[in-house]
Amino acid sequence: MPLPPERLPDAYRQMLIIRKFEEAIRDLYQRGKIRGSFHPCVGQEATAVGGCWALRNDDHMTCTYRGHGHAIAKGLSVREAMAEMLGKRTGCSRGNGGSMHFTDPSVGLLGANAIVAAGIPHAAGAALAGQLQKKDTVALAFFGEGAVNQGVFHETLNLAVIWKLPLVLVCENNLYSEMTPSHETTSTVETHKRAAAYGMPAVRIDANDVELMYVTVEEAVARARAGGGPTYIEGMTYRLWGHMMGDPEVYRTKEEVAQARENEPILRLGRRLKELGHTDADLARLEAEADAVIADAAQFAESSPAPDPAEALEDVFA
C-alpha cells in the first residue's frame, strides 16, 4: 500500500523536524551545551520517515548512533530527545545515555546502538519474541552498509531465514563507512546481494524517495506479519554533513556533496508536493510548524533540571 498523498505534507513536516533537530543540536554543541560529539543524519531523513511510518506503534525498531531521525520518526517525543542530548533528567534515558542511546519502549524504540551491527540481532530477538508469543508484531533494524562485514550480520540473516522471523532489515547505504568509501572495505558493495544469498527477498532502492521507501518497507512488513519471514532493503542515500561533529571531511569533494544536495529527500518531497498542487505558502507553513516543535523542545530541554548525582546508580543492573 503506498503512502496516501494526503499524508505527504505530514511526511514533509516530519522530515523537516528531524533536519531542524540536527541543526538545533549542532548549534547547542557549538555553544558548549552538548558534551562529546554526535552523528547527524542530515540527508537521510526519508529512510527514517518512510521506514518507521510503515510500522505500528507496537512493532519494534533498532537503529544506530546515527539514529535521531529513526527515533523521532518512530514516535520518540522531540522534547525528550532534545533533553537527552543536553543530559537532562527529562530525557528519554533520563540524561544518562545521550545521543547514541535514545530508547523508548513505549513506542517500540528498543534503542540506538553505538556498536556497528549490534542492533541487527537485537531486532531479530524482538522478532523472535513476537513469534514465540504468537503476536503479529514485526521488528525492523536500521544499520549502515559498514555493518555487512560484521559476523552478527551474517549469523542473524541466516537464522532469520531458517526461523522465518518477522524481521525487516534496512541497510542505509550512504557510500561511506564512517570516513572510508565502502568499496575500499567491502567486496560486494551491492549489499542486498549478500542478503539474497541467504534466501530472503532483497532489493536495492532509491531511499531518498520517501514514498518509495515507505511502500517498500510496508510490503516487507506485510510479508513478515503474514508469516513470510524476513526481507532485506538496501536504501541508497547520502549523508550531507560529516560523519560526526568535527569531521574534516577530507575523504570526499565539495562538488560531490553539492551534487548530492540536488537529490536530497526534503527538497525532493517539496518538489513533489508542488506537483500535487501545494503552494510555496503551504510549504512555508509546514516549515514554520516544524520550527515551532523544535523551539518548544529546546526551551523544554534547556529549562529542565540535570540528573541528581544521587540517582547515578539507579538504572544500573549490577
Q: Does residue 77 belong to the site contacting ligand TPP (CB under 6 A)? A: no
Could you tell me which of 108, 68, 51, 61 has the C-alpha nearest to residue 241? 68
In degrees and rounded to multiples of 5, residue 159 shows phi and psi of -70, -35
Q: Does residue 144 belong to the site contacting ligand TPP (CB under 6 A)? A: yes
Q: Does residue 184 belong to the site contacting ligand TPP (CB under 6 A)? A: no
What are the Cα distances from residue 177, in Å, to 11, 27, 126, 249, 300? 27, 25, 26, 13, 34
Q: Measured from the CB atom, is 177 or 304 closer to ligand TPP?
A: 177
Q: Measured from the CB atom, is 12 or 232 closer to ligand TPP?
A: 232
Instruction: Please report how close the Cβ of residue 178 comes to ligand TPP at its closest, in angstroms.
Output: 4
The footprint of ligand TPP on residues 101-140 (CB under 6 A) is: 114-116
Quick one: which segment of 9-17, 73-81, 175-183, 190-198 binds ligand TPP (CB under 6 A)?
175-183
Q: Does residue 70 belong to the site contacting ligand TPP (CB under 6 A)? A: no
Quick one: which segment of 48-56, 95-103, 126-134, 170-178 binds ligand TPP (CB under 6 A)?
170-178
Q: Measured from the CB atom, is 141 or 273 closer to ligand TPP?
A: 141
Separation of alpha carbons 290 and 107, rounded Å: 21
- Which three three-digit cell numbers place residue 301? 530541554
Q: Does residue 177 belong to the site contacting ligand TPP (CB under 6 A)? A: yes
Q: Does residue 174 belong to the site contacting ligand TPP (CB under 6 A)? A: yes
Could you tell me which of 146, 172, 147, 150 has the C-alpha nearest to residue 233? 172
199 Rama sector, left if φ>0, alpha if ψ -120 to 50, beta otherwise:
left
Q: Measured from the CB atom, is 93 or 177 closer to ligand TPP?
A: 177
Helix, strand, coil tally for the chain in percent (to 5): 50, 10, 40
Q: Which residue in the set 42, 46, 76, 147 belongs to the binding site for ligand TPP (CB under 6 A)?
A: 147
Whether residue 169 contacts residue 196, with contact meaning beta carbons closer than 8 Å, is answered with no
Site residues (CB under 6 A) for ligand TPP?
A: 66, 114-116, 144-147, 174, 176-178, 243
